[in-house]
């Protein structure tokens, strides 16, 4: 199936099915960016002024929100909506953009599309269309989990404890997608999705216990069929020298390229007595904070620098963290 890269291609692919029509400036060559979703927003979704979608879908609830309040508030909402400008606005349920909205869209070269179809149908179809595989797949060794709502691939050498860690995470309420082998595929929105090969679905192998049917043991809620890959956690055995050379403030973080998409990776040292399940949860929370722009190491360094600037004599005798 052909990938959708421009607004015109979107119209060509779905105009009949969703009754899509141009309204005002067409913007047919406007390009959907293929960078990481966290950099430029999801390809399409309901109106989001915090993390804008490239195609902002406006149904009755979103239109009511925009028009609530006085005219000054509406102008403020429009300013937010077009900063930065989306590739397109898609009005559902027969809604029409206001003249002010059309004017801003024209000046920002934002396409306006309308349809009489209901918002839930349009949203579901676009999500489905942008989540479909491009045909590029990759089978990787590891355990694929949903942890705190994020897709996490646990990687590492055989017998390092990935399945035992997965079992601990499942016991803490997280969900299994695939054990031993995860099938990754690239979508039209240039993200990586993961699923389990059918022959392995529901099963987890734990040394000493053998095969465990997670669905039978923990229930349907412990299994998820597929998930977008957000983070790779690589379990590694570090010797004393490697541990001593690790950056104690920043940790060990990098990027790993899968199917031409860069995925954040955290290397997690494995050692006796470490509660890896809690460490994985913390790594996911740390990843979520980094998406929002927060970095604890930078925050700590800035705090120390402020202390030194304010109390230079006292700071000379202070002792840093162990």
- Residue 273 and residue 145 share a domain: yes
Q: State mean pLDDT over 147-157.
A: 95
Domain CATH code at residue 121: 3.40.1390.20
Cα-based torsion angle of the residue sequence 265, 142, 153, 266 in order, rounded to the nearest 10 degrees: -20
Cα separation of 117 and 93, whole Å?
Answer: 5
- Residue 261 and residue 140 share a domain: yes
- Residue 62 and residue 178 share a domain: no
Q: State mean pLDDT over 152-170.
A: 94
- Residue 88 and residue 48 share a domain: yes
Beta strand 111-114 with 133-141 is unpaired
Last residue of a domain, one of 107, 130, 153: 130
Cα separation of 54 and 75, whole Å?
Answer: 20
- With 0-12 CB in 10 A as exposed, 13-18 as middle and 19+ as buried, what is 270? middle
Q: Is the pLDDT of residue 309 over 90?
A: no
Q: DSSP character for 31?
A: B
Segment 112-137, tens digit of pLDDT:
999 999 999 999 888 877 777 777 88
Select which of 51, 65, 79, 248 is catalytic.
248
Segment 4-25, tens digit of pLDDT:
677 888 888 888 989 998 876 5
Select which of 104, 129, 162, 188 is catalytic.
162
pLDDT of residue 27: 55
What does the mean pLDDT of the chain come to?
Answer: 87
Q: Tell me whether residue 19 is one of the annotated catalytic residues.
A: no
User: Is 1 within a domain?
Assistant: no
Q: Tell me whether residue 227 is one of the annotated catalytic residues.
A: no
- Residue 315 and residue 271 share a domain: no
Segment 281-301, tens digit of pLDDT:
999 999 999 988 899 989 999
Name the pLDDT band for 177 (thresholds 50, 70, 90): very high
Domain CATH code at residue 178: 3.40.50.300
Residue 118 belongs to domain spanning: 7-130
Name the pLDDT band for 197 (thresholds 50, 70, 90): very high
Q: Is the pLDDT of residue 26 over 70?
A: no
* Phi, psi of 124, deg, nearest 5: -60, -40
pLDDT of residue 83: 87
- Structurally, how many domains does the chain consist of? 3
Q: Is the pLDDT of residue 169 over 80?
A: yes
Select which of 35, 79, 109, 141 is catalytic.
141
User: Is 2 within a domain?
Assistant: no
């Amino acid at each position: 199936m052909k990938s959708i890269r421009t607004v015109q291609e979107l119209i060509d692919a779905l105009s009949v099915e969703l009754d899509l029509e141009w309204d005002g400036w067409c913007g047919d060559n406007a390009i959907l960016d293929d960078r990481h979703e966290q950099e430029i927003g999801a390809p399409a979704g309901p109106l989001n002024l915090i993390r804008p979608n490239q195609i902002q879908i406006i149904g009755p609830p979103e239109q009511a929100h925009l028009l609530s309040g006085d005219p000054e508030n509406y102008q403020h909402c429009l300013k937010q909506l077009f900063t930065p400008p989306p590739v397109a606005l898609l009005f559902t349920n027969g809604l029409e953009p206001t003249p002010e909205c059309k004017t801003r869209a024209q000046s920002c070269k934002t396409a306006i599309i309308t349809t009489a179809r209901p918002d839930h149908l349009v949203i579901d179809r676009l999500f489905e269309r942008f989540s479909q595989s491009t045909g590029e797949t990759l089978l990787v060794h590891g355990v694929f989990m949903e942890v705190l709502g994020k897709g996490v691939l646990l990687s590492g050498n055989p017998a390092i404890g990935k399945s035992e860690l997965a079992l601990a995470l499942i016991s803490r309420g997280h969900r299994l997608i695939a054990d031993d082998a995860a099938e990754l595929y690239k979508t039209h929105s240039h993200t990586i999705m993961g699923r389990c090969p059918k022959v392995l679905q529901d099963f987890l192998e734990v040394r000493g216990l053998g095969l465990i049917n997670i669905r039978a043991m923990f229930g349907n809620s412990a299994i998820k069929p597929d998930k977008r890959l957000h983070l790779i956690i690589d379990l590694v055995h570090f010797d004393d020298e490697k541990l001593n050379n690790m950056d104690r403030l920043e940790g060990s973080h990098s990027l790993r390229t899968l199917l031409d998409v860069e995925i954040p990776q955290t290397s997690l040292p494995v050692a006796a007595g470490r509660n890896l399940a809690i460490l994985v949860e913390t790594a996911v929370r740390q990843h979520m904070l980094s998406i929002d722009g927060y970095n604890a190491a930078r925050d700590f360094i800035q705090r120390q620098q402020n202390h030194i600037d304010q109390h230079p004599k006292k700071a000379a005798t202070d002792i840093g963290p162990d």
